[in-house]
Structure 1
Amino acid sequence: MKFIVEAAMSKKILILFGLISSFCLGLAQDLSFERYFHNQALRLDLYQVGDAKEEFISLHRIFLEPVWPEPLTGLIQPFDYGRYLIKVYDVASNQLIFSRGFESVFGEYRTTSPALAGVKKAMERSIRIPCPKKPVTLVIEKRNKKNIPYPFFELTIDPQDYHIIRETPACGDAVIEKQRTGDPHEKVDLVFIAEGYLSSDQEKFKTDVDRFTDYLFKVEPYRSHKDDFNIYGIFRPSVERAMDEPRQRAYKKTILNASFNAFDLDRYMLIDDNHRLREIAAQVPYDTIVVLVNSSRYGGGGIGFDYCVTTTDHPSSLQVFIHEFGHSFAYLADEYYQSEVAYNEFYPPGVEPLEPNITALLDPDNIKWKELLSPGIAIPTEYGKEKLEAWQAERRTLRQKQMEEIEGAKKAGLPEAKIKAIQEKYQAKDKEIQAKIEAVRKEYSHLADKVAAFEGAGYASKGLYRPQMYCIMGSNQRGEFCKVCQWAITKMIDFYCGRLR
């Protein structure tokens, strides 16, 4: 096993590796799965360790899984997605025979203030490759701040190695087959996994799987592709319901250790036990994972090509799910920019984001969704942004004052009638501001269905642009994806169904 550290990489190595990868990519377009791989998967349980300045990957274990669920075509990833890249080379010929991109929780952590301050952490991440017939070299590449990939982890894998764990994936969990429409190689295989359900909650989990599946297929483009999905559920009971809420000093003993306050953001929930998550999921063929957390709390999270997680019983849980699934399944970026986040320059200025639905607009004449642009619309597109932001800022200030005044009134022991009067005073002012916001939106309502370039996306008010004014990945006012996100989701569905190479 060999580690290649960022600080030690020279420009010559980067250039040479890029040339080799490009050459191998050209050779590998028409690879035969049967020539190089068994219809099984190798799961590598890894640890990512480090901070913002340095990162190491350590291999924990390798498992043999009984089926490779992804298509037998498209072995070389057709998307330039992922801040990390997996590349598999045949040892005998040095030919690139498999590639995929991925994201990780650690990749997000590297952009947070603690990581920038040098606080090192270790986080779990599992990756999968089809099981090779002969020895291979697995290389993990990481992108630098300009999104240029370079290799920093390398491992030679002999499929005959007795250290590869070949135990049965069956764990005695209850497996639900919600919908099966065909061969896993030709379908999107989605698995829902239970978190924070007691043994007595199994029927509730089944109902939740039904409810979330039904909602998924009410939203385009999933609705038009219902028959392209196999849907499973896996139920393993927890000792306690719900999940951890560190700010409330509430800790629950659950299977996956789901926790809010990820990166100290109150509404952000992630899974600590990624290895166990993949162990549970391996009981069925799966391409994508959704974790359902048995709670009425608001929030969730999604990691590209890993998993998404949401609570089940908040009034907005279904909407949170469809948003977070956009991250994990289709690699969609957040299109909002005014909410609190924990990241520092998640998208470095002057660098084109990898995600398909936001752009830095470095080349306006060749915007990544050029084929979907509405005719006759200026790029970038004016939509009353400055006016909207001013009124929205005033409303946030007003609501903060309301909260402080009501809190002071309660501490002073004022009667309920006085507190209600304070609330009504601020509600009247809030209504006035909302009317002004709606007036601006009405002024630009002719742009509501247009595909253009609207500034404000990816947590940045300036310098990043989204395709439409409204989208599930940003403002969810309409409850639908913008046309660019629908296009990107459809491409991902086509990929897993073997229609895109």
Structure 2
Amino acid sequence: MRTVIFGIISYLLFAACSNAQTDFDKYFENQSMRVDLILGGNKHMQSVYLLEIKQEPFWGGSINNLVDELGYGEYHFTIRNKESDELIYSRGFCTLFEEWRTTEEAKSINKAFYQTVTFPYPKEEVIFTLNERRKDGSYNALLTMVINPDDTNIRKEKVPDYEVVKLVDNGEPANMVDLTFIAEGYQLDEMDKFKADVKRMADYILSMEPYKSQQHKINFWAVCSPSIDSEADNPRRDKWVNTAVNSSFNTFYIDRYLETGDVISIRDIAACAPYDHICVLVNSDKYGGGGIYNHFSIGTSDHPSAREVMLHEIGHGFGGLADEYYTSDVAYQNFFDLNVEPWQPNITTLVNFDSKWKHLVDPSTPIPTPVSKKYEDVSGVFEGGGYVEKGVYRPAVNCRMKTNEAEGFCPACQAALTKMIEFVTD
């Protein structure tokens, strides 16, 4: 039955990985390998191509939890030791390309997007496999290739000579969540402002649960990457500026959607510091942002809601949380299959609610849960979320993944973020 496919597939895919994690020192150097890809296609088809492979100087991730057991992401890649065929690393992730494929434009034209993935630098030959998640929750291999870490064509350039500041220091990267902010739209003489803006973001994030309770596990880095011009592109005002990572409002013709396709430049800059998640801070007072799981999060510095927006976008980019709103203008069409349980931890189609936040719902609370004063402060199953009014349910009447006016994350989102923090730091 399709109604249980997602749970079965996820279990079979990841359960085999749960017996033991990889011995980091046996298989990896304490550096990163970055695989740069091009994803292209349209609504109905896609292809993936290798662009190049790079060596980066830092590995900021866990050295213990190397195999992904969460099952998040529209894509998933695996690294196997070529000689033994042992699975030694895996991660799920999302892309701007897969979002674009759900838009009206993707019905009529082909388009290509850069995509990058990183993993610890292998000591021996490995087999890299990139998989896509189908609508029914199953996986399809898009690309498989052997990577030789001694290949002379792997690029080993020095990282840019930018100032790097560790603004919040709680320990070594391997044991911490390293949130690395890079400067976008800050000119060279605006770097003091950038560092102050990042510190303001860090202070706010660490004041909100679950980061507040887990702040001893979090580092904040600032990479001072200068731009020729300030701010970001704003096509609706015919404003075009020359900036470090070419960010722009009006992504997919949505004014507030701030994004960039230049993930190559983002990764080049972020390589100056260890990172678990990259945050792009744009020197602008305009409202906007974006966040894509295991890709990056982006937001502005000076809008009155900038801190709330960045917290929301990191919820997407770091925590894999879905949007819980359903009334705002978006470009996506039929983003979720209502016959399949979505992988995002904070929404459900009730296909397999047992796998979500059911344990947080009091037995006396009805499912679905009415949006009424009686239930406004409890965990429930409220209809409306994931950009649609019917068929997708969220865990709270209001939450930071729904509105900026919410006090913070609901208990279900807090639990999911805590789980991610523990996965990254254990």
TM value normalised by structure 1: 0.81
Quick one: distance in 1 between partners of 2:18 and 2:424?
Answer: 22
8 A contact 2:71–2:343 mirrored in 1: yes
* 1:134 partner amino acid: E
What secondary structure does 2:16 align onto? helix
Q: Are residues 1:374 and 2:362 paired?
A: yes
What's the CA shift for 1:90? 1.3
Per-residue CA deviations over 1:77-119 (Å, capped at 9, x if unaligned) read: 02010110011111112222211000011011111111122x1
What's the CA shift for 1:285? 0.6
Change in CA separation of 1:354 and 1:175 when aligned onto 2, cut-off 3 Å? same
Quick one: distance in 1 between partners of 2:14 and 2:243?
Answer: 48
**1:36 alignment counterpart:** 27
* 1:221 partner amino acid: P
**1:417 alignment counterpart:** none
Q: Are residues 1:469 and 2:411 paired?
A: no
What secondary structure does 1:268 align onto? coil
Change in CA separation of 1:22 and 1:484 when aligned onto 2, cut-off 3 Å? closer
8 A contact 1:24–1:96 mirrored in 2: no
8 A contact 2:305–2:404 mirrored in 1: no
8 A contact 1:456–1:465 mirrored in 2: yes
What secondary structure does 2:266 align onto? helix
**2:4 alignment counterpart:** none
**1:411 alignment counterpart:** none
Counterpart among 348, 362, 365 of residue 359 in structure 1: 348
* 1:130 partner amino acid: P
**1:265 alignment counterpart:** 254
What's the CA shift for 1:199? 1.4
Change in CA separation of 1:454 and 1:354 when aligned onto 2, cut-off 3 Å? same
**1:454 alignment counterpart:** 382
What's the CA shift for 1:177? 1.4
What's the CA shift for 1:363? 4.1
What secondary structure does 1:340 align onto? coil
What's the CA shift for 1:28? 6.2
What's the CA shift for 1:272? 2.3
Quick one: distance in 2 between partners of 1:40 and 1:29?
Answer: 22
**1:409 alignment counterpart:** none
**1:333 alignment counterpart:** 322
Per-residue CA deviations over 1:21-41 (Å, capped at 9, x if unaligned) read: 859935863321122212221
Q: Are residues 1:479 and 2:400 paired?
A: no
Quick one: distance in 2 between partners of 1:124 and 1:450?
Answer: 42
**1:416 alignment counterpart:** none
Counterpart among 272, 282, 302 of residue 291 in structure 2: 302
Larger Rg: 1
Counterpart among 281, 284, 288 of residue 292 in structure 1: 281
Q: Are residues 1:141 and 2:131 paired?
A: yes
**1:129 alignment counterpart:** 119
8 A contact 1:24–1:95 mirrored in 2: no
Counterpart among 238, 246, 249 of residue 235 in structure 2: 246
What secondary structure does 1:259 align onto? coil
Change in CA separation of 1:461 and 1:258 when aligned onto 2, cut-off 3 Å? same
Q: Are residues 1:100 and 2:91 paired?
A: yes
8 A contact 1:75–1:99 mirrored in 2: yes
Q: Are residues 1:186 and 2:114 paired?
A: no
What's the CA shift for 1:202? 1.2
Q: Are residues 1:166 and 2:94 paired?
A: no
* 1:79 partner amino acid: L
* 1:373 partner amino acid: V
* 1:262 partner amino acid: T
Quick one: distance in 2 between partners of 1:108 and 1:355?
Answer: 15
Counterpart among 60, 65, 83 of residue 74 in structure 1: 65
**2:56 alignment counterpart:** 65
What's the CA shift for 1:290? 0.9
What secondary structure does 1:471 align onto? coil
Aligned ranges 1:337-348 → 2 under 5 Å? 337-348=326-337
8 A contact 1:298–1:316 mirrored in 2: yes
Quick one: distance in 1 between partners of 2:114 and 2:21?
Answer: 33
What's the CA shift for 1:446? 2.2
Gaps of 5+ in 2: 1-8
* 1:247 partner amino acid: R
Q: Are residues 1:227 and 2:216 paired?
A: yes
8 A contact 2:201–2:307 mirrored in 1: yes
What secondary structure does 1:486 align onto? helix
TM value normalised by structure 2: 0.95
8 A contact 1:359–1:367 mirrored in 2: no
> Between Structure 1 and Structure 2, which shows a larger proportion of helix residues?
1
* 1:380 partner amino acid: P
Per-residue CA deviations over 1:400-422 (Å, capped at 9, x if unaligned) read: xxxxxxxxxxxxxxxxxxxxxxx
Counterpart among 404, 416, 423 of residue 488 in structure 1: 416
8 A contact 1:244–1:252 mirrored in 2: yes
Change in CA separation of 1:286 and 1:235 when aligned onto 2, cut-off 3 Å? same
**1:11 alignment counterpart:** none
8 A contact 2:21–2:67 mirrored in 1: no
What secondary structure does 1:147 align onto? coil
Count of matched residue pairs:
417
**Percent of pairs with identical residues:** 40
What secondary structure does 1:301 align onto? strand
What's the CA shift for 1:475? 3.0
What secondary structure does 1:275 align onto? helix
What secondary structure does 1:200 align onto? helix
Quick one: distance in 2 between partners of 1:289 and 1:129?
Answer: 15
* 2:358 partner amino acid: K
Quick one: distance in 2 between partners of 1:23 and 1:462?
Answer: 31
Change in CA separation of 1:176 and 1:92 when aligned onto 2, cut-off 3 Å? same
What's the CA shift for 1:68? 1.8
Change in CA separation of 1:28 and 1:35 when aligned onto 2, cut-off 3 Å? farther
Per-residue CA deviations over 1:351-392 (Å, capped at 9, x if unaligned) read: 11110000001245x251121112310111122xxxxxxxxx
* 1:36 partner amino acid: Y
**2:3 alignment counterpart:** none
Quick one: distance in 1 between partners of 2:315 and 2:412?
Answer: 12
- How well do the aligned residues superpose, as a CA RMSD in angstroms? 1.7
Q: Are residues 1:47 and 2:35 paired?
A: no
8 A contact 1:335–1:456 mirrored in 2: yes
